């Protein structure tokens, strides 16, 4: 087997740049569609559920797919997996751009998720293989986290500028030149190293995961739409919850699980997962509602909404490297995650109250970037080196589960609140918000309500994602 010793010298930083370039389009595509909702509804005649599924299917499918691709990378090599992922991602991007209608676009987005599910865990595992567990690993993870958090916030900004000057398919074609640069760089600069300890993989576990998350998300999304019967909500919900329960049971009993739940016995990894899932859930869900509010109610163009959002990606991109540098010098403290969450919670409060909104957006971005950096470092540095692929799978599952559920949960919460604020006899579709003074006021109230919900969930995460201090027994002879 090939050695897995870390790369030394300046070359490791060049490897990092290549890995981050590969990661950028896959991360940005989680949120780039959020700003296109009015355009998709108009040009493709998409209904509200079709729009939500077009945005959400990408993240929800990746939750199950990374369970295959993470361990697969340990078996065939993460460089080879990354090359395959980039190839699939480029073909899927072209198919998305050429989609003639909502069903075709949803299917192409699902294919896009296949490519991204290879790219994301491969980038994390390659960073672990390249930097080992030393001080530079924290800096590298900080850079990866900056791209993760920054890309999520940057997606709508890039989408807005492209929509203003080109047709909607350009938001997918922008991936092609990035992939064209990344493919030869990966082939020439990265070596394919296979782990000496490889875990077998199978199809049942990821299938259960995909069915579970899709079923639950379908039930959440369908719950708010008119004409939906009880069975249309209950059956997918029961199917989804049953599949998730069977998935967990299978992982607990399998000799070689796809998602190694034993890793969750590590307090640092548990804290990292919580700090990854919930803040991403909140930020992605909030961002989806914010761009709808700006376009439907405030009447901003796609480019105008993009300019409005800029403080978020700028602050998120700065937070990752800053946090990584501090972490590499002083080590991790129990205050890093709470500090980032408090920054974000303060930002949500400022946005909801309408006070200094640009500062609020910057605080949300900076807090999310800081938390994402710490969470990624905890997950990847806590797991054994031979399970880098499995740890990368857990990190990817955490991020994508948060993003996918955030779109479903916050989309549903906003729809429920919007209906409650509407006068009787008014159209209840959020796509009609802004068509009259009454609908604009109702959506404004709904947006403020869900933003307060975002602040509350972020504050709750402070208690859930902060590891409890371990009691140190007193030495013999010392007073207790």
Other beta carbons within 10 angstroms of residue 469's beta carbon come to: 7
* DSSP assignment of 427-480: ---GGGTTSSHHHHHHHHHHHHHHHHHHHHHHHHHHHHSSPPPPPPPPPTTS--
DSSP state of 197: S
Q: In terms of pLDDT, which residue wins out, 423 or 180?
A: 180
Lowest-pLDDT range of 114-118, 175-179, 215-219, 328-332: 328-332
**Tell me, what's the pLDDT at 329?**
55
Percent of the chain at pLDDT above 70?
A: 80
Other beta carbons within 10 angstroms of residue 192's beta carbon come to: 16
pLDDT band per the 50, 70, 90 thresholds, residue 386: low
Other beta carbons within 10 angstroms of residue 384's beta carbon come to: 11
pTM of the model: 0.72
**Tell me, what's the pLDDT at 404?**
76
Q: In terms of pLDDT, which residue wins out, 313 or 477?
A: 313
**Tell me, what's the pLDDT at 200?**
61
pLDDT at 10 over 50: yes
DSSP state of 200: -
Give the separation between CA 167 and CA 383, rounded to whole angstroms: 44
Torsion on CA atoms 439, 442, 443, 449, rounded to nearest 10: 180
Q: Report the interhelical angle of 437-464 vs 388-421 (nearest 10°).
A: 140
Distance linking the first and last C-alpha atoms of the chain: 52
Q: In terms of pLDDT, which residue wins out, 216 or 431?
A: 216
Average pLDDT over residues 124-135: 74
pLDDT at 132 over 70: no
Q: Is 222 helix (H, G, I), strand (E, B) or coil?
A: helix
* DSSP assignment of 130-196: HHTTSHHHHHHHHHHHHHHHHHHHHHHHHHHHHHHHS-TTHHHHTHHHHHHHHHHHHHHH------S
> pLDDT tens across 420-472, in order?
888 876 766 666 676 778 888 888 888 889 999 999 988 888 877 665 554 44
**Tell me, what's the pLDDT at 32?**
83
Q: Are 364 and 101 in contact (CB under 8 A)?
A: no
Give the separation between CA 394 and CA 275, rounded to whole angstroms: 13
For the chain, the average pLDDT equals 78
Lowest-pLDDT range of 19-33, 280-294, 311-325, 446-460: 311-325
**Tell me, what's the pLDDT at 248?**
84
Give the separation between CA 16 and CA 131, rounded to whole angstroms: 9
Lowest-pLDDT range of 12-21, 206-215, 360-369: 206-215
> pLDDT tens across 271-284, in order?
778 887 888 888 88
Percent of the chain at pLDDT above 90?
A: 6
Q: Annotate 27-47 with b (16+ C-beta within 10 A) or e (fewer).
A: bbbbbbbbbbbbbbbeebebe
**Tell me, what's the pLDDT at 67?**
72
Q: Is 22 helix (H, G, I), strand (E, B) or coil?
A: helix
Q: Are 408 and 265 in contact (CB under 8 A)?
A: no
Q: In terms of pLDDT, which residue wins out, 235 or 479?
A: 235
pLDDT band per the 50, 70, 90 thresholds, residue 92: very high
Average pLDDT over residues 117-128: 83
Q: Are 152 and 284 in contact (CB under 8 A)?
A: yes
pLDDT band per the 50, 70, 90 thresholds, residue 297: confident
Average pLDDT over residues 398-416: 80
Q: In terms of pLDDT, which residue wins out, 192 or 8?
A: 192
Which is nearest to 395 in space by CA: 73, 109, 11, 83?
A: 73
> pLDDT tens across 326-385, in order?
655 555 555 677 888 888 889 999 988 877 788 888 888 888 888 877 777 777 677 666
pLDDT at 305 over 90: no
CATH number, span 11-191+258-464: 1.20.1250.20
23-37, 130-144, 374-388, 446-460 — most confident range: 446-460
**Tell me, what's the pLDDT at 159?**
83
pLDDT at 33 over 50: yes
> pLDDT tens across 62-74, in order?
777 777 776 777 7
pLDDT band per the 50, 70, 90 thresholds, residue 86: very high
> How long a stretch of residues is the chain?
480
Q: Are 145 and 381 in contact (CB under 8 A)?
A: no
Lowest-pLDDT range of 5-14, 231-240, 278-287: 5-14
Query: What does the domain layout of the chain look like in residue ranges?
Result: 11-191+258-464
Q: Are 126 and 81 in contact (CB under 8 A)?
A: no
């Amino acid at each position: 087997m090939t050695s897995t010793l870390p790369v030394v010298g300046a070359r490791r930083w060049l490897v990092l740049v290549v890995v981050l370039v590969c990661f950028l389009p896959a991360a940005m595509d989680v949120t780039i569609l959020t700003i296109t909702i009015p355009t998709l509804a108009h040009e493709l005649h998409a209904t509200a559920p079709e729009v939500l599924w077009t945005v959400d299917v990408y993240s929800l499918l990746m939750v199950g797919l990374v369970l295959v691709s993470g361990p697969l990378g340990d078996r065939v090599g993460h460089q080879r997996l990354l090359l395959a992922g980039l190839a699939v991602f480029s073909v899927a991007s072209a198919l998305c751009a050429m989609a003639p209608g909502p069903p075709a676009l949803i299917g192409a987005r699902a294919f896009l998720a296949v490519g991204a599910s290879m790219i994301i865990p491969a980038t994390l595992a390659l960073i672990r293989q390249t930097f080992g567990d030393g001080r530079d690993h924290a800096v590298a993870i900080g850079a990866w986290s900056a791209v993760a958090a920054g890309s999520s916030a940057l997606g709508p900004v890039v989408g807005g500028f492209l929509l203003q000057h080109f047709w909607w398919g350009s938001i997918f074609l922008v991936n092609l030149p990035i992939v064209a640069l990344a493919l030869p760089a990966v082939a020439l600069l990265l070596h394919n190293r296979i782990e000496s300890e490889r875990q077998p993989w199978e199809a049942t576990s990821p299938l259960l995961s995909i069915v579970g998350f899709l079923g639950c998300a379908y039930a959440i999304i369908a719950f708010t739409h008119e004409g939906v019967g009880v069975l249309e909500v209950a059956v997918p919900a029961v199917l989804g919850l049953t599949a998730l329960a069977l998935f967990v049971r299978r992982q607990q009993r399998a000799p070689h699980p796809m998602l190694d739940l034993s890793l969750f016995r590590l307090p640092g990894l548990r804290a990292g997962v919580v700090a990854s899932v919930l803040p991403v859930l909140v930020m992605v869900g909030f961002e989806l509602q914010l761009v709808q509010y700006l376009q439907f109610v405030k009447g901003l163009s796609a480019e105008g909404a993009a300019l409005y959002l800029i403080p978020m990606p700028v602050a998120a991109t700065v937070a990752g490297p800053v946090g990584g540098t501090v972490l590499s010098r002083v080590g991790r403290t129990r205050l890093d995650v709470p500090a980032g969450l408090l920054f974000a919670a303060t930002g949500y409060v400022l946005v909801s109250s309408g006070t200094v909104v640009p500062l609020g957006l910057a605080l949300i971005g900076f807090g999310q970037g800081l938390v994402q950096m710490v969470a990624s470092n905890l997950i990847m540095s806590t797991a054994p080196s031979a399970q880098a692929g499995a740890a990368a799978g857990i990190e990817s599952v955490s991020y994508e589960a948060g993003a996918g559920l955030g779109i479903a949960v916050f989309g549903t919460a906003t729809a429920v609140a919007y209906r409650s604020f509407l006068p009787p006899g008014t159209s209840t579709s959020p796509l009609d918000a802004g068509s009259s003074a009454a609908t604009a006021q109702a959506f404004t109230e709904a947006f403020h309500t869900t933003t307060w919900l975002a602040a509350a969930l972020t504050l709750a995460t402070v208690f859930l994602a902060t590891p409890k201090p371990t009691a140190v027994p007193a030495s013999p002879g010392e007073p207790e």
